[in-house]
Amino acid sequence: MLICVPEVLSKSDVAEFRGVMDATDWEDGRSTAGAQSALVKKNEQLPPNGEVARALGRRIVSALTSNPKFVSAAVPLQIFPPLFNRYAAANGHYFGIHVDNAVRGDHLTGLRIRTDLSVTLFLSEPDEYDGGELVIEDNFGSHEVKLGAGDCVLYPSSSLHMVTPVTRGARVASFFWLQSMIRDAHARSMIYDLDTAIQALVERLGRDDPETVKLTGIYHNLIRYWAEV
């Protein structure tokens, strides 16, 4: 399941983020890559344990957990502290085909999560750079993702994916992982589809419609049945 969530951050928030990030020193992005990923990764990142990354990351998590579409798609249990990367054409940056680590640990907090979903939050507008598409492979083929600044995409961490070489400008983004309460990807997809249908019925029939109430009960009972907390 690949889900795009628009306007997680406002354009003014993005501008503020970029101003803070541009004034901060960056480091080699391979420091947070696994052994396999490090062989195909060439980019820069904000120091993951630095105060800038942590402060901006907290704002992203707050925005995401207040976003109904994100919560519906992810049913998040734990969200890894967001990281930030930059792919610059001048440095020939790219990230070759890889799969994310199954488990991620945070040295500062001791948090360890199973990576069910990967998240990329775009912090550059598409017309700011050429190339830099996030390419995600699944059973239905390859999907290229290049969203507006402030928008994000969620996709299974088990997917093979890559960032194509940036040939003009710079691609700036936040990336991170989460562990869902619903471990099974198929069950999580059904939960999302059910919630989306319920919300559409609420708009048409109202929240107190008997059938809407019944479906809402089924939704919560399925969460209760599948959830790991």
Instruction: Quote the CA–CA distance of 148 and 123 in Å, as a whole number.
Output: 8
Contact (Cβ atoms closer than 8 angstroms) between residue 106 and residue 78? no
Residue 35's SS3 state is helix
Over residues 27-69, the pLDDT tens digits come to: 998 877 666 677 788 999 999 999 999 999 999 999 999 999 9
Kindly report the number of other CB atoms within 10 A of residue 104's CB atom: 22
- Which residues in 112-123 are b (16+ Cβ under 10 Å) and which e? ebbbbbbbbbbb
pLDDT in tens, the chain (229 residues): 899 999 999 999 999 999 999 999 999 988 776 666 777 889 999 999 999 999 999 999 999 999 999 999 999 999 999 999 999 999 999 999 999 999 999 999 999 999 999 999 999 999 999 999 999 998 889 999 999 999 999 999 999 999 999 999 999 999 999 999 999 999 999 999 999 999 999 999 998 999 999 999 999 999 999 999 8
- pTM here is 0.93
Inter-CA distances, 35 with 31, 99, 147, Å = 10, 11, 29
Of 35, 183, 173, nearest to 101 (Cα)? 35
What pLDDT does residue 31 have?
Answer: 74
What pLDDT does residue 192 have?
Answer: 97
**Residues written for the chain:** 229
Find residue 28's DSSP bridge partners: 44
Over residues 6-33, the pLDDT tens digits come to: 999 999 999 999 999 999 999 998 877 6
For β-strands 166-180 and 41-42, DSSP reports them as unpaired
Where are the alpha helices (H) located in the chain, listed in sequence order? Answer: 11-22, 35-38, 51-65, 68-74, 185-205, 210-226
What pLDDT does residue 206 have?
Answer: 92
Residue 114 exposure: Cα atoms within 13 Å on the Cβ side: 12
